[in-house]
Amino acid sequence: MRPLRVATTLALAVALLHAVPAAEPAQALAPTERAAPSRDWTPPSGTVTTPDGVTRLADRYGRALRLRGLNLGKTDTVTEEHIAQLARDGFDLLRLNIQWEKVEPRRGRYDTRYLRSLDRVLDWADRHRVLVLVDWHQDVYGPAFGHNGIPAWATRTDGLPFEPNPDDWFADYFQPAVQAAFTHLYDDADLRAAQTAAYAEVAATLRGHRSLLGYDLFNEPFGPVPGDPTDPDDQADAAAALERGRLAAMYRRLIGAVRAADPDAWLFLEPTVLVGQGVPTSLPGFDDPRRGPDRLGYAPHYYDTAVESGADWDPSSRFIENYEAAIGAYPAAHRLPVLVGEWGPPKATSPGNAELIRRQVASMDGFASGWAMWYDCRAEDGGGYCVRERDGSPAPGKEPAFAPHARAVAGAPGPESYDPATRTYTLTLTADRTTRRAWTLLSLPATAFPDGARVSVTGGGTVVVATRPGEAEVLLPAARPGATVRVTATAR
C-alpha cells in the first residue's frame, strides 16, 4: 500500500464523515473507508521527547511507541506459529536470543543454515507485523562452562579452575576461569576481530527486514572482579571500571561493525546487571557513525536479586523506586530511548510476585519505550519463567503482561490501565500537534476482549474510531493542544 500522508485533506474528510460524539461508543469504519497509518506499518524511525522529559521511540508519524514483547530463541527453535501467537496476543516485539557459538561454531566458518534460519524468522515477523530486537546472548560466557553464548574456541582460561555451583548458576561468573575468559575477550586483538566480523556477518544477513528493530549488542555484560567477588562494594567498583573501559571499547567496536553493514538498525547498549541492585551505570556516551540522527538506545534488565534467589517480593524493599532512580540519569543525559530487554520473576503464583508484575508494568510505562518479558514458553502451574500455561493462556499472576496497551500514541502518553474484573482499559494522553493528524493505535487482544471492544473518548472533541479484530485506532482531528484526552475500551 502506498504510504499515507495522514494530514491530507482526504484523510481529514474521511475522518469527519465518520465522526461520532466524543462521549459515545464509536462506530467501526469499513476497512475500505479507513485511511489509518497502522495499515502502512512503520517501525521506529526516530525519537520524541515527551513533556515528562522521557525520550521515546517514535515512528514516521511522530507517534510515541509503547512496545511490548517476549523473549524467544535461547534454546528453542522459533516457528512462524510462535510469532503468529505473539501477534494474536497483542504483543508487537520479539527479543530474539542468538549466540555467537551458533553463528560461528568453528573459527572462521559461519553456519549458513543458522543464518538462514534467522533470516526466515524475520520473514515471519515481517508478515505478522512484529518487531524483532536481535539479542547477542550470553550466560556465564558460553558452552565451555556449561552455558551459552561465546564459542568454546574463543574461550581462554589460562588454566585457571572452574567449579560450577549447582545451586546458584550466577555464582559461576565469579569462577577464576570465567573471569579470565572475559578478560581475554575484551583484551585479545584476535578475539576482538573475530567478534567484530561475526556481528557484521549477522547484520549483513538481516539488514533490510522491515521487522528488524535492531540489536542488543551484548547480553548482561560481565568482566573481571579484582578483590573479593562476593563483596558488593568490590562488585560495584569492578562494574564501573568495566563500563568506563573495556565494555565501552567493545561497544564502540560493535557499533562500527553493525554500521558497516546496516545504517538503519537501532543499537541498544546494556549496563551490567548491578543496575537491578540500584547501582547506576558508568557507561560513557557513544557516537553513532550513521548519517542522520543517532539510532542508539539503552537496554537495562529489570530483575530483583532477592526474587531471583527464590524470595517472594517484598513491596517495602523499595526495589522499584531504587531501580527507577538508578536507570534514569543515563538515558536522560544522552537522550536515549529505553527498552527493557528482560524482566519478570520466576513464578508469579505468590502474592508478592504477582504484585511485582503489576507494578513493573506500570513502572515501565513511565520510563520505557518498550519491554520484552522473560520467557515465551509453556509450563504447568506457572512453572519457572514461562509466561504461559500448557494451553497457551497467561501463566497465573502474569496476566498483566498480556493486558491491552497503546502501541502508538499520537500525543504525550500518560497512564494506562486495565481492570480485568470489569474488562475496562483506559489510556490518558495529552493532545499535541501530532494528535490532530495521526491515529492512536490500541492493542485490544482477545485475552482481554474475547468478543471485541467498544471504544469511547472524552476530552478530544470530534472523534473517529476504526476497529478490526484485536485493534482499534483513534483519530482526534479537532483536539486542542494541551487537552487531556481519555480513551476507554470496554468489553462488548
Model confidence pLDDT, tens digit, residues 435-452: 999 999 999 999 999 999
Taking the C-alpha atoms of residue 424 and residue 403, their distance in angstroms, rounded to an integer, is: 10
Is it true that the peptide bond before 251 is cis, omega within 30 degrees of 0? no
Q: Which residue, among 288, 160, 179, 185, has the nearest Cα to 235 in the 3D structure?
A: 179
pLDDT level of residue 21 (50, 70, 90 thresholds):
very low
pTM greater than the 0.75 cutoff: yes
Q: How confident is the model at residue 38 (pLDDT cuts 50, 70, 90)?
A: low
The pLDDT assigned to 421 comes to 96
Task: Check whether 426 has a pLDDT greater than 70.
Answer: yes
Cα separation, 392 vs 260, whole angstroms: 40
For cell 505473539, name the residue.
86
Q: Does residue 205 carry a pLDDT above 80? A: yes
Radius of gyration of the chain (CA): 23
Cell of 99: 549466540
Short-list 134, 107, 241, 250, CA closest to 192:
250
**Sign of the Cα pseudo-torsion (456, 459, 464, 465, in order):** negative
Tens of pLDDT, residues 456-476: 999 999 999 998 899 999 999
Q: What is the pLDDT of residue 30?
A: 36
Do 406 and 441 form a contact (C-beta atoms < 8 A)? yes
Q: Rounded to whole angstroms, how far apart are CA atoms 22 and 463? A: 6
Q: What is the domain partition of the chain in residue ranges? A: 1-42+404-492, 66-402
Q: What pLDDT shows up at residue 75?
A: 86
Q: Tell me the pairing of strands 46-49 and 440-443.
A: unpaired
First CA to last CA distance, the chain: 31
Go through the chain and tell me how many residues it has. 492
Separation in Å, CA 35 to CA 16, 32, 90, 465:
12, 8, 22, 11
Q: Starting at the earlier edge strand, list the strands of the sheet with 453-458.
A: 412-419, 424-430, 484-491, 453-458
Burial (0-12, 13-18, 19+ Cβ within 10 Å), 362: middle
Q: What percent of the chain has pLDDT over 70?
A: 92
- Asked if residues 158 and 178 have their Cβ atoms less than 8 Å apart, the reply is no
Non-local CB neighbours of 112 within 8 Å, separated by 6+ positions: none
The answer to whether the beta carbons of residues 307 and 313 sit under 8 Å apart is yes
Q: For the residues of 401-444, what is the DSSP string, one character each?
A: GGS-EEEEESSEEEEEEEETTTTEEEEEEE--TTTTTS-EEEE-
Residues in a beta bridge with 73: none
CA distance 37 to 438: 7
Q: How far apart are CA 154 and CA 331, in angstroms?
A: 33
- Answer whether residue 491 shows pLDDT above 80: yes
The predicted model gives 238-257 an average pLDDT of: 98
pLDDT digit string (tens) for 348-377?
A: 999 999 999 999 999 999 999 999 999 999
Domain 66-402 in this protein, CATH class: alpha beta
Query: Does 157 score more than 80 pLDDT?
Result: yes
Residue 263: band (very low, low, confident or very high) from pLDDT cuts 50, 70, 90: very high
Query: Strand 212-216 relative to strand 266-269: parallel, antiparallel, unpaired?
Result: parallel
- Residues near 307 by Cβ (< 8 Å), separated by ≥ 6? 313, 345, 346, 353, 356
CATH number at 1-42+404-492: 2.60.40.1180
Closest CA to 213 of 61, 369, 85: 369
pLDDT tens profile 297-351: 999 999 999 999 999 999 999 999 999 999 999 999 999 999 999 999 999 999 9
**Dist. CA 206–CA 204, nearest whole Å:** 6
Residue 254's pLDDT is what?
A: 98
Q: Are 135 and 219 in contact (CB under 8 A)?
A: yes
Nearest to 460 by CA among 424, 419, 410, 420: 410
Locus of grid cell 490501565: 417
